[in-house]
Amino acid sequence: MNQSSSLHSLGIGIATRNSRDEIIEVYYPLVLRDPHSELVEALRSCCAYAGGNVHSVISEAQLTELLGSPFVAADKALSALLRQLNESTQDVCAMFISEDSAPSSVPEVYLKLHLLSHRLCKPHSLNLTGAFGVLQNVAWTNQGAIDLADLPARQLQARLKGELLEVMSVDKFPKMSNYVVPKGVRIAHTARVRLGAYLGEGTTIMHEGFVNFNAGTEGPAMIEGRISAGVMIGSGSDLGGGCSTMGTLSGGGTEIISVGKDCLIGANSGIGFPLGDRCIVEAGLYVTAGTKVLVLDNANQVVGTMKARELSNKSDLLFRRNSVTGAVECKANKTAIALNEELHTHN
Which residues carry out catalysis?
Answer: 224
Give the end-to-end CA distance of the chain in Å, rounded to a whole number: 26
Pairing outcome for strands 292-296 and 328-332: parallel
Report the half-sphere exposure of 253 (CA within 13 A, side-chain side). Answer: 18
Distance CA 114, CA 9 (A): 11
Q: Which residues of 285-311 are buried (b: 16+ CB within 10 A; e: fewer)?
A: bbbebebebbbbeeeeeeeeeeebbeb
Rounded-to-integer distance, Cα 23 and Cα 330, Å: 51
42: burial class by Cβ within 10 Å (0-12, 13-18, 19+)? Answer: buried
Q: CB atoms < 10 A from the CB of 343, how many? A: 12
C-alpha 197/C-alpha 315 separation (Å) is 26
Measured distance CA(44)–CA(33) in Å, rounded? 17
Sheet (strand 258-259) strand order = 197-199, 215-217, 232-233, 258-259
Residue 54: which of 103, 16, 5 has the closest Cα? 103
* Burial state string for 321-335 with b = 16 or more CB within 10 A and e = fewer than 16: beeeeeebbbbebee
Identify which of 58, 80, 79 has the alpha carbon closest to the alpha carbon of residue 13.
58
In single-letter form, the type of residue at position 72 comes to V
The amino acid at 185: V
Cα dist from 92 to 13, 84, 176, 293, whole Å: 6, 10, 21, 56
